[in-house]
Amino acid sequence: MDAIELLKHDHRMVEQLFRDYHAAASDTQRRGVVELVIRELSKHAALEEMMVYPMARKVLPDGAEQIDEHLAEHMAVKKLLLALDKLPSGDEREAELMAQLRREVEEHIREEEGEMMPQLRDHVSEQDLDELGRLLDQAKQGAPTRPHPGAPDHPPALTALGPVAAAYDRFRDRLQGRPRT
């Protein structure tokens, strides 16, 4: 699967998780979905920032401007994810934070899939997109599972700190008994 298809697959999965949240019958089920949303969006954002955005910044005509906008959107999402991560199960603020997160993510997906991804397909060879897709798929296993809004969002600092954050997240997840994906 090439990088663009892999990212779109992630988008579809997160959209389904938002639907699952609204269909959940109990606080426990909703919290389980929140945990998955936090994990999947944290991994997705980290991988885009480490691997996709640096390439897009270089190859797209307005890459720097476009990627700076996407990074600002990521920051808003990370702050919402962090707020959700800190909430206890059943907290009354959860539904509003999830609704706000859904709006932010849907807008981000529209912009990426409507603008950036078609441009990447035009400016990057299919072979390079396939290779990037393979690398993204491998990197998912070691990506951070929690939001880190205070961490760098540009290489090389992001590339150096990403694995440290991922190891810390996985250790913390185990200590807290969080589900693994």
- Taking the C-alpha atoms of residue 87 and residue 158, their distance in angstroms, rounded to an integer, is 27
pLDDT tens profile 47-71: 999 999 999 999 999 999 999 999 9
Q: Does the bond joining 155 to the residue before it have cis omega, within 30 degrees of 0?
A: no
User: Tell me: the pLDDT tens digits for 73-114?
Assistant: 999 999 999 999 999 888 999 999 999 999 999 999 999 999
pTM above 0.75, yes or no: yes
Could you give the count of Cα atoms lying within 13 Å of 7 in the half-sphere of its Cβ?
Answer: 27
